[in-house]
Structure 1
Amino acid sequence: MRVVWQLLAVVAVWAISGQCVSAVDGNPWLTLVLGLVTAVIAVLVYRWVVGRTERRAVTELDREGAAGTVGRGVLIGLALFGAVIANIAFLGDYEVDGLGSVTGAVGLVGFMAAAAATEEVVFRGVLFRIIEERAGTLISLTLTGVLFGLMHLANPEASLWGALAIAIEAGGMLAAAYAATRNLWVPIGVHFGWNFAAAGIFSTEVSGNDTPKGLLDSTASGSQLVTGGDFGPEASVYAVLFGALLTIVFLWLAHRRGNLVPRRGRRTVPAEAATTVPR
């Protein structure tokens, strides 16, 4: 029943927040405030429902060092998407035409914060973590990654390739980030950094959604395999490649730290890491 109660709580926040943020679409300042408030509520609800149903300290959302950990995740997400855009631009398929909209970028901070926090507590906080207990890290990563990708089939301009790309570069990579660090702050930060870079800085589509213009006025043209077409750079082969590479890095870190959970087993911690808590 803990799965039921946890999902009911966090999915309710996810659904309600989505409606509320959509209701103030067009007002960047209200979107900023409401989005940030939603992100905080999502974290608080997760901490409350998991603490009550599992009767434990919710260490995956420790307050100590949270800001710095989120910040590191944001930098990873920004750098990752920046690398995708740099490679697309190198081929001449992405061009900056001038400055975009500062207020548009402000609103996208709130919008993407809400999306990152709510989706991470649902997919990595509840689904990945609980499936991992029974099936192990790799199976849980695969199942929740596929589910995360399939969810995006409901988006505008969606395709099976776009869903597969999201499953690899986001679903798998963010689950691996959680496995490596055993906290949700890093995947929340990476998720936010990636999405905000896409829309708030480089003004591209995010998973097929046509968001307000960000800091740069830009155009993308060329092969869909390179640019991602109407779905946006998340369907670019570069996004899949860099996301897969980062997934491998996170899984290597998880293995090194003894954080990989075998199927129907318990996590084994190497002797040199037995007295430390990975963060």
Structure 2
Amino acid sequence: MNATPTLAYVTPATPPAWKRWLVCSPLARIVIFMALFLVLNRSAAALVHLLMQGMAKTPMTSALTYLAVAMLPAIVTYLFLTLVVERRKPAELALRRWPDVFRGLLAGGLLFSTVVGVLWLLGSYHVVGFNPHADWLPPLLVAGIGAGITEEILFRGVLFRVVEEGLGTWAALLISALFFGFAHAANPGATVWSSTAIAIEAGLLFGLLYHATRSLLLCMGLHAAWNFCQGTVYGIPVSGLKADGWLVSTRTGPDWLSGGVFGAEASVVALTLCLLCSAALLAVALRRHSLVPPFWRRR
């Protein structure tokens, strides 16, 4: 079977060999993206540092800084990769697919609410108060919008998509999931287990969601809603980062159930529910015969 039509881009055969290898090949495009992203990231960080000298550091200024030094460079670099290097319009971000954002937000909110509901039924999640004055805007900008856009561009838009073109879907799932999981290894309270859990529950889920829909916007929406609901709605640490939630909550029980100080993402409940969703997406891919083989097995 020829699965290449499911790919957004395939290295063309017509350019000179040097251009195919140094510009158009999967490895070259990943290197080009990362090099430009790091340049823009460091430049933006230096500019923000210069502009904010003498200003007090607040949650809002920290949030805006994150958007300036991470999210905006990621967007600009991805547009450069697709429009200039790959010479195509990024259909995975097409304006006609904006409803995918809202579908993703709904799916992410429902999925994490289900995680919390199961933890509550098992006697692990407890609401001890309500905080109507929770500072919700900075977490929305950072953990929600910022992380949802930035991380989905990096790990699904670039790493998963480009590796899939070269090494196939299975390798892309494994590589992008491992990088995504262990990118959280330096977070507060992180352990080998928490990084592995994120790799399995989120890395595989988002990779399969992108594969099945070819929509980065859907992945961004789900990612943003998952993070925002986790921290600001339910008061649970987001990947180890302290949350100021509308619901003041505690979790009890063994770490494998509650997730411990890292948060519910390290819970076997989140792992199980996300694996079930991943299995459903994989079943869709198998039914469609859309799994992409490595380039050496494609015609």
Please name the residue that 2:116 is paired with: 85
8 Å CA contact 2:97–2:217 kept in 1: the answer is: no
Pairs within 5 Å for 1:164-175: 164-175=196-207
Give, in whole Å, the separation in 1 of the partners of 2:80 and 2:237: 34
CA 1:238–1:145 in 2, change beyond 3 Å: closer, same or farther?
Answer: same
The alpha carbon displacement at 1:36 in A equals 6.5
What is the aligned-residue identity percentage?
Answer: 34
Taking structure 2 as the reference length, the TM-score comes to 0.79
- 8 Å CA contact 1:7–1:126 kept in 2: the answer is no
> Distance in 2 between the 1:18 and 1:88 partners?
40
Q: 1:25 to 1:186 in 2, by over 3 A?
A: farther
Which one has the largest radius of gyration? 2
- Aligned CA distance change for structure 1 residues 186 and 9 (closer, same or farther; 3 Å): farther
What aligned pairs does 1:42-81 form with structure 2 within 5 A after superposition?
A: 42-66=74-98, 68-81=99-112
Question: Which segment is superposed worse, 30-39 or 224-233?
Answer: 30-39
Residue in 2 that maps onto 1:153: 185
Query: 1:31–1:170: structure 2 CA closer, same or farther, 3 Å change rule?
Result: same
Q: Any gaps of 5 or more consecutive residues in structure 1?
A: 269-279
**Do structure 1's residue 230 and structure 2's residue 261 form an aligned pair?**
yes
Separation of aligned partners in 1, 2:207 and 2:140: 23
Contact 1:93 1:222 in 2 (8 A): yes
Residue 248 (structure 2) aligned to one of 202, 217, 224: 217
Q: Give the TM-score of the pair, scaled to structure 1.
A: 0.84
Output aligned runs, 1:12-27, within 5 Å: 26-27=58-59
Unmatched segments (≥5 aa) in structure 2: 1-27, 50-54
Per-residue CA deviations over 1:147-192 (Å, capped at 9, x if unaligned) read: 1111211111111111110001111110111001012111111111
Query: CA, structure 1 residues 11+50, in 2 after alignment: closer, same or farther (shift >3 Å)?
Result: farther
Q: CA deviation at 1:193?
A: 1.1
Partner of 1:3: 30
Question: 2:33 touches 2:77 (CA, 8 Å); kept in 1?
Answer: no
| Cα pair 1:96 1:217 within 8 Å, conserved | yes
Per-residue deviation, 1:257? 4.0
Partner of 2:273: 242
Flag the 1:132–1:230 CA change in 2: closer, same or farther, 3 A. Answer: same
**Are 1:181 and 2:213 matched, yes or no?**
yes
Q: Is the 8 A contact 1:11 1:122 kept in 2?
A: no
**Cα offset for 1:197?**
1.0
Distance 1:203-1:24 versus aligned 2 partners, 3 A rule: farther
| C-alpha distance in 2 between matches for 1:63 and 1:40 | 18
Q: 1:218 to 1:12 in 2, by over 3 A?
A: farther
- Tell me the C-alpha RMSD between the 2 structures: 2.8
Looking at structure 2, the residues matched to 94 and 147 of structure 1 have their Cα atoms a distance apart, in angstroms, of: 30
* SS of residue paired to 1:97: strand
Distance 1:153 1:27, change over 3 A: closer
Q: How does 1:108-147 map to 2 (within 5 A)?
A: 108-112=139-143, 113-147=145-179
Aligned to 1:271: none
Match of 1:206, SS state, is coil
Confirm or deny: 8 A CA contact 2:166 2:294 kept in the other structure.
yes
How many residues end up aligned between the 2 structures? 264
Task: Confirm or deny: 8 A CA contact 2:100 2:215 kept in the other structure.
Answer: no
